[in-house]
Amino acid sequence: MTDHNHSDPGHSHVPKDERKIAIAAVLTGGFMFAEVFGGVISGSLALIADAGHMLTDFASLMLAWFAFRLARRPADWKRTYGFDRFSVLAAFVNGLSLFAIAIWITFEAISRLREPQEVMGGLMLWVALGGLVVNIIAFWMLTRGESDNLNVRAAALHVAGDLLGSVAALIASLVIIYTGWTPIDPILSILVVLLILRSAFKVVKESTHILLEGAPHGFDSREVKRVLVEEVDGLAAVQHLHAWSVTQERPMATLEIQLHPDVEAAPVRERVRDIMRERFHIAHLTIEVVS
């Protein structure tokens, strides 16, 4: 006999998270053109790098927004879990794009260190200030309130990288204005790259774990089995316990339970379901009773 519980609290966050992504995309895309223009005219690598990062941010934010829209489509006979997993795939792509950006900025910075170029510090300063304000607003929008959604976190990391890029461009512009030392521009760009790579690794690692059907964060099947057997009266053994996540907010599990002789199955299943939900935060659960 199999008991299947479809309770799924994760979807309640989608409209709010979708709104965050949309606003951040409008802000980022709107200022991107100013940074491209300012970076080219001033000759600043830090601004150009930040503009390139903003372009990728805009694309990744639109991809994340599309993932939320797609996730609202109902499940069908081909995709029985619906389209929620697309948001994890979008986060994975966003993380990889951060690596690509970091590599490009590094090569360009090395080239600038070998052959320094003239940089217009004054124009660079005002564009960097504008970018900093836009990125602070976008980052605040994405991090306001609580969200466990991996796609929102990936988008926030993109914007955080932009914010750091704007700070680096601002510092570089001040140094160039007051000292004329232009190598500060590519040097600070490389420092931003190191921060971007750290964020990118984390996003790619977490999204890959979900895509490979890894166990939800903090879930230890050995501990779960021990707790169930010790705390559920009438439960003899737990077998074939599997746990994974469709998205970070939608952990799921299947398991087989073996009962002691002459024990009624329904109360045992109900107790197992309660423990899995309250102690291990898994509400979507399939339980099969085996002899």
Residue 229 φ/ψ, nearest 5 degrees: -65, -40
Work out the average pLDDT over 236-248: 91
- Rounded Cα distance between 225 and 221, Å, is 6
- Rounded Cα distance between 63 and 25, Å, is 10
pLDDT-derived band at 286 (thresholds 50, 70, 90) equals very high
**Residue of 107, 144, 135, 18 lying closest to 71 (CA atoms):** 18
Cα angle: 4, vertex 5, 7; to 5 degrees: 160
Q: Are strands 284-290 and 2-5 parallel, antiparallel or unpaired?
A: antiparallel
78-129 pLDDT, tens per residue? 877 777 787 788 778 878 887 888 888 888 889 888 888 778 888 888 888 9
**Would you say 84 and 284 are in contact if contact means Cβ atoms under 8 Å apart?**
no
pLDDT-derived band at 2 (thresholds 50, 70, 90) equals low
- Rounded Cα distance between 248 and 207, Å, is 9
Work out the average pLDDT over 252-279: 93
Q: What is the pLDDT of residue 25?
A: 85
Distances (CA, A) of 25 to 39, 64, 110, 135, 243: 20, 10, 31, 11, 34
Residue 48 confidence (pLDDT) above 80: no
Q: What is the pLDDT of residue 75?
A: 76
Q: What is the pLDDT of residue 241?
A: 95
Q: Which domains does the chain have, with CATH numbers?
A: 10-211 (1.20.1510.10), 221-290 (3.30.70.1350)
Angle between helices 45-71 and 14-42 (to 10 degrees): 160
Residue 241 φ/ψ, nearest 5 degrees: -85, 120
117-129 pLDDT, tens per residue? 778 888 888 888 9
Higher pLDDT, 8 or 211: 211
Residue 14 confidence (pLDDT) above 70: no
Tokens of 184: 């500060």
What value does the mean pLDDT of the chain take?
83
